[in-house]
Amino acid sequence: MDVSADLTELGRTRVAVVSSGCKGFLDIPRTLEFLETQGALVATFADGGAAAGGKGVDFPAFWARESGVPSPSVVRDERDAAAIILAQERLGIESGMLFANPIPEEAAIPRKEMELVIETAVREAAEKGFTGSANTPYVLTRIRQLTEERSTSANVALVRSNVARAAKISVELAKLLDGAPVTVKAASPGVDSAKQASTPAAKIQSEVDTAAKPEDPHPVDVLAAGSVALDLNCDYAGGSPSGNSKAVSPALHTSNPSTISQSVGGVGHNIALAAHRISGEGKVRLCSMVGDDIAGSTILSTLQASGLDTSSIRQLGAEFPSARTAQYVAVNDADKNLVMAMADMDIFSTHSFPADWTSTVAASKPKWLVVDANWSEADIQTWLRAGTKHGADIAFEPVSAAKSQRLFPTLKTNQTPPLSVYPHASVGLCTPNQHELLAMYEAARGRGYLEHDAAWFGVLDGFGILRGARDRFVDIASAPIADAGIPVQCVNLLPYIPTIVAKMGAGGALLATVLGREDPRLKDPEHARFVVSRSMNDHPHVGGVYMRLFPAVEQVEDVVSVNGIGDTFMGVLVAGLAMGGKVDGLIDVAQRAAVLTLRSKESVSEEVRGLRGDLRRAVEESR
């Protein structure tokens, strides 16, 4: 067989081709069958009419508008073609599309006349022995001669027509990318062509709205609402402009040698990816935003390849000119420690869609909702209200010292704090590092949350913290940790955040949590040394405070990147909680996952998947 390479290419390349069909001397039915086998869409523009005799819209035969072969499907106009292209792109289908555009009537050569010309040219080619690559040039030359050059003028006309049609499709596609609603009214493949042709155009429509909207989200265990960004990681390669080869930190105000890598990151993304990798497919969803730019397209394609559910990621189009996809640049020293980072997360703090956030939570029905602090103060509160309304437990990831304070917005005079306290706290879990914890504590204290809220004081009073508590803090955590004020800061925030895991790097993780009146740890001898205090009054819900230091699982020397380790910790922790585990039984696995990321170039190590069995066992043991 002589099969054109064009047909194979259409089966594997994401391209939309506009042509006037096949040259009439080729085997058109077999050509269409081959394209179907390759998974390439073939549709013919109806142009408001059908083939003679009402037998359907023909696939065109180049110089003739009809070939006698019904088109596999029919497309009504350029807007419908553009909608099909957009839908196929967003679905990530790799094959191409062929849109057949019949030659303009005034330039066409009647089908019967062309059939006689082609028959003559093909017969002569066979008689004279023109085969293989020599066949087509001979046939085309004879067709031009037999039609007295009419085929040449037809060629020019059909090329002009195809260019015009393709340009109009491009215009419509640009409109759709700008956010115009799309409803395809093209005929669907597989429907009888004669029936399509005899049906009024207004009634020929697909059953599916192909605006490339994602399917309705299904319920998930974890919904991570936060940032996704394109990360650049710059590792100082050693040496200095002054010739000091032992320098470990880059020099300021000059260029430095480095190794630069690119990856998809962002706190919300990292948390979602860690939870996804350790819990399996379909249980985790990321809700975020990207811009309509190269970085945004890179992120979407990468997320789809990772298998992460992206149905709740919103791409802001040209109507939001300031919506740049978030980017993060980290500059690390020769030991991979962060020297400085630059983050452009403006898209999250300046673009708000409260109704979307609420409907996303309602549709996802998550067991746990993780909210990162890249959102604006108002949006953080929207997320918290939505999560509470729909029964989700809520975790807050502070992101940075500055952004962590957004959980505690400034109160107006006599305003009731927007955060509820234990046992109906707005936030159930937070995993700050010690700098973020201090910033949150100072924001809560400076903005009146620790002074003017009677509900907060009622819970704090119920803790039964007595003078001399420092000795208990030293015994549990260590004198340096107690002197840094970390236990006190945790205790003061516990009414608003009943479980806090303070991450201290090589110093481990300090868990502080409120115990309910019936919590078995209050009576368990194995946990007695971690019970900092017991309620001394008649508070109906508070039984005491539990505090425990979990040492680092390993002192890592071969650090590759520090980016994403805290997010990995949170993602694994929340995944375990969604499975029914308890925090104190999950921290060990979460720490080990963070170590894997510490040794990885990725924002979340692929090897986290290998801890799935450990997480399941930890969940069972902690129940």
Number of structural domains (the chain) is 2
Worst-scoring range by mean pLDDT, 180-189, 415-424, 575-584?
180-189
Q: Are residues 164 and 191 in the same domain?
A: yes
Which residues, 6+ apart, have CB-to-CB distance to 530 below 8 Å? 476, 521, 546, 547, 548
209 has a pLDDT exceeding 70: no
Whether residue 304 is contained in a domain is answered as yes
Angle at CA of residue 226, ends 216 and 262, nearest 5°: 105
Cβ atoms 186, 88 nearer than 8 A: no
Q: Are residues 228 and 195 in the same domain?
A: no
* pLDDT confidence tier of residue 189, bands split at 50, 70 and 90: very low
Q: Are residues 155 and 294 in the same domain?
A: no
Give the separation between CA 444 and CA 491, rounded to whole angstroms. 12
Q: How many whole angstroms from its chain centre is CA 563? A: 19
Give the separation between CA 546 and CA 543, rounded to whole angstroms. 10
420 has a pLDDT exceeding 70: yes
Q: Are residues 120 and 230 in the same domain?
A: no
Q: Are residues 194 and 273 in the same domain?
A: no
Give the pLDDT score at 557. Answer: 83
Q: Are residues 180 and 227 in the same domain?
A: no
CA neighbor of 275 nearest in space, from 593, 583, 501, 562: 593
Give the tens place of pLDDT for each residue, 471-499: 889 999 899 999 999 999 999 999 999 99
Region for residue 547 given its phi and psi (left: phi exceeds 0; alpha: psi -120 to 50; beta: otherwise)? beta
* pLDDT confidence tier of residue 20, bands split at 50, 70 and 90: confident
* pLDDT confidence tier of residue 51, bands split at 50, 70 and 90: very low
Region 147-156 average pLDDT: 81
* pLDDT confidence tier of residue 231, bands split at 50, 70 and 90: confident
Cβ atoms 444, 493 nearer than 8 A: yes
Whether residue 362 is contained in a domain is answered as yes
* pLDDT confidence tier of residue 375, bands split at 50, 70 and 90: very high
- H or E stretch covering 41: strand 41-45
Whether residue 515 is contained in a domain is answered as no
Question: Running DSSP on this structure, what letter comes out for residue 331?
Answer: E
Region 36-57 average pLDDT: 71
Instruction: Out of 203, 238, 254, pick the residue that ends a domain.
Output: 203
Residue 157 identity (one-letter amino acid): A
- List the CATH number of the domain containing 95: 3.40.1790.10
Q: Are residues 114 and 243 in the same domain?
A: no
Region 379-384 average pLDDT: 95
Q: Are residues 165 and 299 in the same domain?
A: no
Query: For residue 139, what are the domain limits?
Result: 5-203
Q: What is the pTM of this model?
A: 0.64
Whether residue 476 is contained in a domain is answered as no
DSSP state letters, 404-467: HGGGSPPPPTTPPPSS--TTS-S--EE--BHHHHHHHHHHHHHTTTTTS-HHHHHHHHHTT--T
Whether residue 596 is contained in a domain is answered as yes
Worst-scoring range by mean pLDDT, 7-16, 113-122, 441-450, 571-580?
113-122
Give the pLDDT score at 246. Answer: 64
Whether residue 217 is contained in a domain is answered as no
Whether residue 514 is contained in a domain is answered as no
Count, in order, helices (H) and strands (E) of the chain.
Answer: 21, 18
- List the CATH number of the domain containing 612: 3.40.1190.20
Give the pLDDT score at 239. Answer: 60
Instruction: Out of 158, 173, 203, pick the residue that ends a domain.
Output: 203
Worst-scoring range by mean pLDDT, 13-17, 204-208, 401-405?
204-208
Worst-scoring range by mean pLDDT, 86-95, 321-330, 504-513, 532-541?
86-95
Instruction: Quote the tokens at residue 81.
Output: 């073609």
DSSP state letters, 231-286: EEEEEE-S--TTS-TT--SPPTTS---EEEEEEEE-HHHHHHHHHHHHH-TTSEEE
Give the pLDDT score at 138. Answer: 81
Give the pLDDT score at 336. Answer: 79
Worst-scoring range by mean pLDDT, 140-144, 236-240, 615-619?
236-240
Q: Among positive and negative, which fits the CA dihedral 302, 306, 311, 312?
A: negative
CA neighbor of 365 nearest in space, from 220, 214, 574: 220
605 has a pLDDT exceeding 50: yes
Average pLDDT value over all residues in the chain: 85
CA neighbor of 61 nearest in space, from 15, 14, 12, 113: 113
Q: Which of helix, strand or coil describes residue 334?
A: coil
Residue 330 identity (one-letter amino acid): A
Cβ atoms 150, 60 nearer than 8 A: no
383 has a pLDDT exceeding 50: yes
Burial class (CB within 10 angstroms; exposed 0-12, middle 13-18, buried 19+) of 259 = exposed
Give the tens place of pLDDT for each residue, 251-272: 999 999 999 988 899 999 999 9
Q: Are residues 237 and 306 in the same domain?
A: yes
Q: Among positive and negative, which fits the CA dihedral 14, 16, 21, 23?
A: negative
Strand-pair category, 393-397 with 429-430: parallel
Give the pLDDT score at 217. Answer: 62
- The partner residues of 229 in beta bridges, in order of sequence, read 265
CA dist 378 → 88, 374, 382, 571 (Å): 36, 11, 6, 24
Cβ atoms 74, 204 nearer than 8 A: yes
Whether residue 523 is contained in a domain is answered as no
Instruction: Out of 171, 203, 235, pick the residue that ends a domain.
Output: 203
Tell me phi and psi for residue 618, to 5 degrees. Answer: -65, -40
Q: Which of 16-25, 110-119, 131-140, 351-360 has the highest mean pLDDT?
A: 351-360
Q: How many CA atoms lie within 13 A of 191 on its CB side?
A: 19
Q: Are residues 197 and 261 in the same domain?
A: no
Q: Are residues 187 and 235 in the same domain?
A: no
Q: Are residues 252 and 130 in the same domain?
A: no
Which residues, 6+ apart, have CB-to-CB distance to 103 below 8 Å? 20, 60, 62, 63, 64, 65, 154, 157, 158, 161
